[in-house]
Chain A
Amino acid sequence: MLKFDNVSKRYQETGEVLRDVSFHLRRGELAFLTGHSGAGKSTLLKLIAVMERCNKGSIFLDGENLSHAKEKHIPYLRRKMGFIYQDYKLLQDRTVFDNVALPLVIAGFGHQEVGRKVRAVLDKVGLTGKEKKFPLALSGGEQQRVGIARAVVNKPPIIIADEPTGNLDPDLSAEIMRLFENYQQVGVTVLIASHDISLISKMNHRVLKLDHGQLVTR
């Protein structure tokens, strides 16, 4: 599903951030991406989101080479990924419903289908009845569940989460992780960047550890 092939990324200002990174996440696999800050985690995620291009190597998503993707195809590639952020990145002036509906509206679904899919996914993440609320009226855990609902509503084959539990207490974090496992079990590939070692060690999943831009465990 996601394959890195000798990927290197160098910035003019900071030098080489990723060096010869290779790994392969299979369909339905859940993996953690860890490493000290500055190890290159966020750069790696940016490469997947095609916010940056790698200098060397290739990245394949579902058989497509991201590193050669044309500018105008990037939006369509991004629709295959569901992104989840530490700060949720919700639109504060839109309701929960509108936030979750955004990817569907972007993909061009009609409003009946949007309504049906949004209600289904809100039900799944346990936010039934909160669709008319604004994000600020929700707790941190609930906001993150809105973020997850938005990421999965268009059924992307891969979910990429950047420190999804960074702002949450351990109980809520565990709850969010269970949600990810649910999606993994139905065949979605999940990649979670996190430095919450205790949480990671409690869960029995593959760990990709970055150290100074190099992958030390795969």
Chain B
Amino acid sequence: MNKHPQKKRPQTREIKTPTYKPVKSDVRPNTVAGGGFIDKANAYRDLHAHALFSSLGRLVAEPFSSIMTIAVLAIAISLASGFYLVLVNAQQLTGNLEASTQISLFLKEEVSDNRAAKLLETIKSNPKVQQATLINREQGLEEFKTYSGFGSAVDSLKSNPLPIVIEVSPKNSLTNKDDLEALQHEFQQNEGVELAQLDMLWLERLQSIIALGGQAVSLLNLMLGLAVLLITANTIRLELHSRREEVIIAKLMGATHAFIRRPFLYAGAWMGFISGVAAWFIVTVLMLALRSSVEHLSRLYGGDFHLLFFSFGQTLQLIAIAIGLGVLGAWGVLIYQLQRTKPE
């Protein structure tokens, strides 16, 4: 076991004519630990395990500054992931609306209930139509009273000013805007129809607002990611500074940069992990607080909108990104600083 490589050489060996010799050839075998592959692999695993736990230990040893840093990271990450979640929910909202594209046919005032019923039948027989419902004047008035908030004002009217309306839902396959417009145009030609209105313009507007929101969220998240990167980098820089002596001693004992970097990279990973988990909690708690109001609002619009929380996969993704940013921030500062931390 205890065979030292040096002992194998004859004691009398000398360098006669020192000529330049590439260093690479002779260096490694003599200066790394002996033993079999398994031993080395175990030692390597021990090193990683030690770096993993000692870096956590260091975070715990200075709870105040660790908590401060992690809180800042967690807030930044929760802002980013919160924006993302709002965006996902908004997209879900337009998805629901898209499926409910409707063409409202406002009939002319002189059209009687009978004629309206006949018109409904012809519309229903149109192959492009999924469903059509007739809302007569009284129903329209009731609905208006309930949802508009002008109930008492409507009561004071002598006659019902509302026209008969036929709500047409086109076939689901009809998602193309041009096709929908063609259908709208077809209804508009009908002589009983005053106005055929395709409820699409506002949907388009909403969609473009959400697309803009998406871009804004991407940019914001980029900035927040950068902030997380810089915060970790600065924390690791301070840590490196306070352990400068140790780094220099390790360098003099023949530590490679990889060896010195390892505990700091794990520290970055821990900060990322802990703040990622904390951010998940912050966002989830905020969403829970908002849920009842959102669902109340959704009920008012008669929609079946359910607030989306992080899925399991998204949670993993969130934590993985947080860890990645932590490691990356640490890595960047280490590459730069370790070159400069030279033994004096």
A residues sitting closer than 8 Å to B (CB atoms) are: 3, 5, 26-28, 49, 51, 58, 60, 62-65, 68-70, 72-73, 75-80, 83, 89, 91, 102-111, 113, 150, 155, 157, 187
Contact (Cβ within 8 A) A107 B31:
yes
Q: Which 3 A-B pairs have the closest CB atoms?
A: A79-B254, A78-B254, A79-B31
Q: 1/0 contact trace for B1-30 toward A, CB 8 Å?
A: 100101000010111001011011011101
**A108 touching B18 in the complex, CB below 8 Å, given contacts A77-B23, A113-B35:** no
Q: Residues of B contacting A72 with CB < 8 Å? A: 256
How far, in angstroms, from A68 to B21 measured CA to CA in the complex?
9
Contact (Cβ within 8 A) A73 B20:
no
Contact (Cβ within 8 A) A63 B39:
no
Contact (Cβ within 8 A) A106 B254:
yes
Contact (Cβ within 8 A) B18 A3:
yes
- Name the residue of chain B whose CB is nearest to the CB of A70: B23
B60 within 8 A of partner (CB): no
- Name the residue of chain B whose CB is nearest to the CB of A114: B43
Interchain CB contact (< 8 A) of A89 among B15, B249, B254: B249
Q: Residues of A contacting B28 with CB < 8 Å? A: 76
- Name the residue of chain B whose CB is nearest to the CB of A46: B343
B44 within 8 A of partner (CB): yes
B157 within 8 A of partner (CB): no
B342 within 8 A of partner (CB): yes
Q: Residues of A contacting B259 with CB < 8 Å? A: 75, 106
B253 within 8 A of partner (CB): yes
**A108 touching B15 in the complex, CB below 8 Å, given contacts A91-B245, A102-B253:** no
- Name the residue of chain B whose CB is nearest to the CB of A93: B246
B47 within 8 A of partner (CB): yes
Distance between B239 CB and nearest chain A CB, rounded to angstroms: 14
Known: A63-B15, A80-B31, A155-B4. 7 other contacts (CB 8 A): A27-B11, A58-B18, A60-B18, A62-B26, A89-B245, A106-B255, A110-B40
Q: 1/0 contact trace for B305-344 toward A, CB 8 Å?
A: 0000000000000000000000000000000000000111
Distance between A91 CB and nearest chain B CB, rounded to angstroms: 6
Distance between B50 CB and nearest chain A CB, rounded to angstroms: 8
Q: 1/0 contact trace for B182-195 toward A, CB 8 Å?
A: 00000000000000
Interface centre among A62, A73, A108 (most CB of B within 10 A): A108
**A51 touching B343 in the complex, CB below 8 Å, given contacts A26-B14, A65-B23:** yes
How far, in angstroms, from A78 to B253 measured CA to CA in the complex?
6
How far, in angstroms, from A86 to B251 measured CA to CA in the complex?
18
Contact (Cβ within 8 A) A110 B39:
yes
Contact (Cβ within 8 A) A63 B27:
no
Interface centre among B20, B23, B28 (most CB of A within 10 A): B23
How far, in angstroms, from A103 to B301 measured CA to CA in the complex?
71
Contact (Cβ within 8 A) B250 A106:
yes
B46 within 8 A of partner (CB): yes
Contact (Cβ within 8 A) A108 B32:
yes
**A110 touching B35 in the complex, CB below 8 Å, given contacts A26-B14, A102-B249:** yes
Q: Residues of A contacting B255 with CB < 8 Å? A: 75, 106
Contact (Cβ within 8 A) A73 B23:
yes
Contact (Cβ within 8 A) A49 B252:
yes
How far, in angstroms, from A104 to B1 measured CA to CA in the complex?
15
Contact (Cβ within 8 A) B13 A27:
yes
Contact (Cβ within 8 A) A51 B342:
yes
